[in-house]
Structure 1
Amino acid sequence: MQDLPRVMSRRFSGLSSKLIATIIGVILLVEIVVYLPSLASFRATWLEDRLRVGVVAARVLDAVPDVMALPHTLTDRLLNSAGAHAVVYRREGQSQLIELTEPVTPERVATADLRQGDLPSQIWGALDTLLAGPGRTLRIVGTGDLDESLVEILMPEAPLRRDMLDYSRNIVLVSLGIAAVTAFALYMLVSHLFIDPILRLTANMLAFRQAPENATLILEPSERRDEIGILERELAAMESDLFSMLRQRRHLADLGLAVAKINHDLRNTLTSAQLLSDQVATLDDPKVQLLAPRLVTTLDKAIGFAQSVLDYGREAAIVPQLAPVLLRPLVEEAALEAHAAGNPAIAFSNAVPEALQITADAGQIGRALANLLRNAREALEGRMGDRPDNRIEVRARQEAEEIVVSVIDNGPGLPQRARDNLFVAFEGSARAGGTGLGLAIAREIVEAHGGRLELAEVEAGTRFDLTLPVRSAEV
């Protein structure tokens, strides 16, 4: 529960801060895209205003007869009103110049041709003006108000650059204001629709994780029909299932503990009864001799069942310790443990290649093989009639990146009930009184090694395929 207050209190962290930053960034990016044409338009308008002054000066020149000259006071006033050093008027192949009384010789000149009205040229000119250093002179070229007339103005670029910087500053301030207001409005809307529900889901998951057996912490879904509503309903269903499963498992664990205690006492009682039955079997009474074997067999099965349940209950999830091991000797040991090898009633064949090596936990894989061989032996011993051809065979082959070990018997095969509950503890046994734990434990071991245990389809008998991945020797 310590993570819950921290997540809920930091409202403007995580998704919230990312959302706000994304909204502001997108708005500023849009403003930048809009800013460049706007700045170019501002510069073009500014230059056109200065060009109009040049046009006025050109009209003055047209109004003055050629034999007369404009007084310097008038020309200086015209040029100062335009902020220009000189104005050149060209028409019909003739040029007229108006310049200050004290001419200015520019060091660096940049040309702004207003006859080029395409947007890329205007944007490039605006950026060139902003990035240019001080002291540059601007040559403005444009058409006059008469046909085939041309006006040129020579003026310092500093006033234009200063006005463009002021305009840019205003654009930045307006953009930041729009971004802030828009981001706040969108955040409040998105927060109500998405952020708050996500925070609610996060808080619920953190709380439920700390106490999954508390039914009051199960999420109560809203009536939303969108993806978040689906998420709420699925989370509530998952928490309900988890709550029920945990409660059921706790009950099963308590019941299992009680059964284990009862089973332990029952096993001790059965062991005492077995000792007594062994003594009874030595009596010469014909009726006793007839019933004693059945009694002994029944007690052996009951003791075996009790012992297998105790062993399964004590089973721990031990991580396999992988190491290279020869498979053939491992099969021999497992066959001896399962009484499949050396059994006078069964012909056992170990057809595993001598050099075949697997990388596995020898003890665990040996136990899985022993369980499979034990099941095969019991299937052969349990079929009716005297069958001298009882046979168990173990084969192994390597296929690409896998090693397949097959345990084969020519017994009666698995009944349909056992096939339907294969690998299910206490359900998948093929014989009366069996527990089905052998196959369940064998599959757990094989899956822990990254392999699989499967029942193969064969015409007669039974074949289990134990598949293990091929690993390098360094594992």
Structure 2
Amino acid sequence: MAGMKAKRSVLPGRFSGLSIKLIATIMGVILLVEVVVYLPSLAIFRANWLEDRLRVGVVAARVLDAVPDVMALPRNLTDRLLTSAGAYAIVYRREGQSQLIELAEPVTPAAVVTADMRQRDLFSLIGGAFDTLFAGPGRTLRIVGEGDINASMVELLMPEWPLRQDMLAYSRQIAWVSLAIAAITAVALYLLASSLFVHPIRRLTANMLAFRQAPENAALIIDPSHRRDEIGIAEQELAAMEAELFSMLRQRRHLADLGLAVAKINHDLRNTLTSAQLLSDQVATLDDPKVQRLAPRLVTTLDKAIGFAQSVIDYGRETAALPVLAPVGMRALVDDAAFDARLVGHPDIRFANMVPEELVLNIDAGQLGRVFVNLLKNAREALEGAAGNLTDAVVTVGFAEGEDRLVLFVADTGPGLPPRARDNLFVAFEGSARAGGTGLGLAIAREITEAHGGQLSLAEVERGTRFELSLPSGLRVVE
């Protein structure tokens, strides 16, 4: 819009755009995979740790099995067995009998948790690992497992704290290794992705920003690479688009210069024709019969020339202003347009406004009002030109609603459009239905309609002419 400055885009830094997002995504995915792998790995580490302690218990069980009287074992031997296992006590059960090795000073545990190594399913192992990892201090671990002899079982009673410390150390190692793997993999993939995607996309982005600042500079048109993938296609299409835009802007500048020259010529021509019109008015007052016969034709010709020059000047002043949308009652808008088109109170033409009173659309009243003024003015001129051949001259504006479109139509009972006008409809300076017309009205009306997301078209009817203005149903204001 006028008065608004376009916000200049800035190319993001190397590590603030796609690059950092790519690195973060790769590292995040790798760490997520490492977490998924870490859980069973930690569970297996805990199971192996417990199995190692259980093997010491099995060795102690063999000693107990070889000695008939456990009480006769030397204290230093039993202490070494318990110390090597890190246990408070070892229990060996076989054939309904239990044998116990414990410290000289028995320990009474406050809280005991059982680790049954006979359950080897993954979920039980992971659950046990988490239970140990987040356990509080002072718990005692009871390890239960099978011995090396049938129907035998070994139990160890030991503090849980050494297991938890080893699991934390193992977790730290896994964390450092995972971070190292993630970093190395991310850098490797980043370097690969940068050469294949990030750098070409940054090149495209930088070129678009530079070309936007100076589209008249042909040297800024991107030179496509020889890639055959999607990025290569994007480079080729961007190069083609920039080349077409460059040519279009150059042509537009030439047309603008030409239009300025034509406007100056039209302005001078209009002044000259106005002077000629004043002279023709004076000539028309002479009593010469030949002058009286030719003067009206001269005045009419000058009026047409002046009108044509003024139409060209007005069309050149047209600007591509964006529609300012606001709720507008369509029946009142059509009434105002009919008044401006000199249809209201016309002595020979009847005007019928069939638009519902409750129809309210979110449109630009000024722009869409011009569309109806042009259409209604054309209908009036068509009916006035065929006044002697018509029995009922009527101009009607109506409304019809489709599935996803709203249709407003302007219809008249005139003679219809000639073939030349139909073939060049909506073409400036060629689509006029009357002699001396410029055809600019319909061209401007089409541009305004398309700016509202609609379409202006000529409908086929048996009698007269009917123009249909199709608008999106989303413009309708529902109260």
Amino acid at match of 2:477: R
The structure-2 alpha-carbon separation of the partners of 1:362 and 1:185, relative to structure 1 and needing over 3 Å to count, comes to closer
CA distance in 1, matches of 2:96, 2:327: 100
CA distance in 2, matches of 1:60, 1:125: 30
1:21 pairs with 2:24: yes
Query: Aligned with 1:59: secondary structure?
Result: helix
The correspondence for 1:276, drawn from 275, 279, 296, is 279
Q: Deviations over 1:316-360 (max 9, x none)?
A: 4375585655836x656644544545656x433334479567566
Match of 2:35 in 1: 32
Amino acid at match of 2:159: P
The correspondence for 2:426, drawn from 423, 427, 431, is 423
Match of 2:352 in 1: 350
Query: Aligned with 2:72: secondary structure?
Result: coil
The Cα RMSD (Å) is 3.0
The correspondence for 1:230, drawn from 216, 230, 233, is 233
Q: Is the 8 A contact 1:90 1:149 kept in 2?
A: yes
1:177 pairs with 2:183: no
1:247-258 matches, within 5 Å, as 247-258=250-261
1:337-376 matches, within 5 Å, as 337-340=340-343, 346-352=348-354, 364-376=367-379
CA distance in 2, matches of 1:353, 1:3: 45
1:7 pairs with 2:8: no
Match of 1:297 in 2: 300
Normalization by structure 2: what TM-score? 0.88
Match of 1:471 in 2: 477
Structure 1's unaligned 5+ residue stretches are: none
Deviation at 1:19, TM superposition (A): 0.9
1:83-162 matches, within 5 Å, as 83-162=86-165
1:411 pairs with 2:414: yes
Query: Aligned with 2:458: secondary structure?
Result: strand
Q: Is the 8 A contact 1:114 1:140 kept in 2?
A: yes
Q: Is the 8 A contact 1:380 1:390 kept in 2?
A: no
CA distance in 1, matches of 2:106, 2:358: 103
CA distance in 2, matches of 1:471, 1:218: 45
1:262 pairs with 2:265: yes
Deviation at 1:285, TM superposition (A): 4.0
Q: Is the 8 A contact 2:323 2:367 kept in 1?
A: no
Q: Is the 8 A contact 2:322 2:451 kept in 1?
A: no
1:322-401 matches, within 5 Å, as 322=326, 327=331, 334-335=337-338, 337-340=340-343, 346-352=348-354, 364-382=367-385, 386-389=388-391, 391-397=393-399, 399=401
CA distance in 2, matches of 1:320, 1:68: 103
Q: Which moved more, 1:67-76 or 1:128-137?
A: 67-76
CA distance in 2, matches of 1:138, 1:334: 93
Amino acid at match of 1:387: N
CA distance in 2, matches of 1:362, 1:130: 72
Q: Which moved more, 1:218-227 or 1:365-374?
A: 365-374
CA distance in 2, matches of 1:19, 1:404: 50
CA distance in 2, matches of 1:78, 1:321: 91
Q: Is the 8 A contact 2:70 2:99 kept in 1?
A: no
The structure-2 alpha-carbon separation of the partners of 1:57 and 1:460, relative to structure 1 and needing over 3 Å to count, comes to same
The correspondence for 2:461, drawn from 435, 458, 462, is 458
1:246 pairs with 2:249: yes
Amino acid at match of 1:7: L
Amino acid at match of 2:352: N
Match of 2:3 in 1: none
Match of 1:65 in 2: 68
Give aligned-pair identity as a percent: 71
CA distance in 2, matches of 1:30, 1:334: 69
CA distance in 2, matches of 1:184, 1:394: 72
CA distance in 2, matches of 1:105, 1:343: 115
Normalization by structure 1: what TM-score? 0.89
Deviation at 1:281, TM superposition (A): 3.3
CA distance in 2, matches of 1:288, 1:171: 111
Structure 2's unaligned 5+ residue stretches are: 1-6
The structure-2 alpha-carbon separation of the partners of 1:175 and 1:407, relative to structure 1 and needing over 3 Å to count, comes to closer
Query: Aligned with 1:164: secondary structure?
Result: helix
CA distance in 2, matches of 1:30, 1:376: 74
CA distance in 1, matches of 2:172, 2:430: 81
CA distance in 1, matches of 2:102, 2:314: 112
CA distance in 2, matches of 1:441, 1:67: 112
The structure-2 alpha-carbon separation of the partners of 1:358 and 1:133, relative to structure 1 and needing over 3 Å to count, comes to closer
Q: Is the 8 A contact 1:331 1:350 kept in 2?
A: no
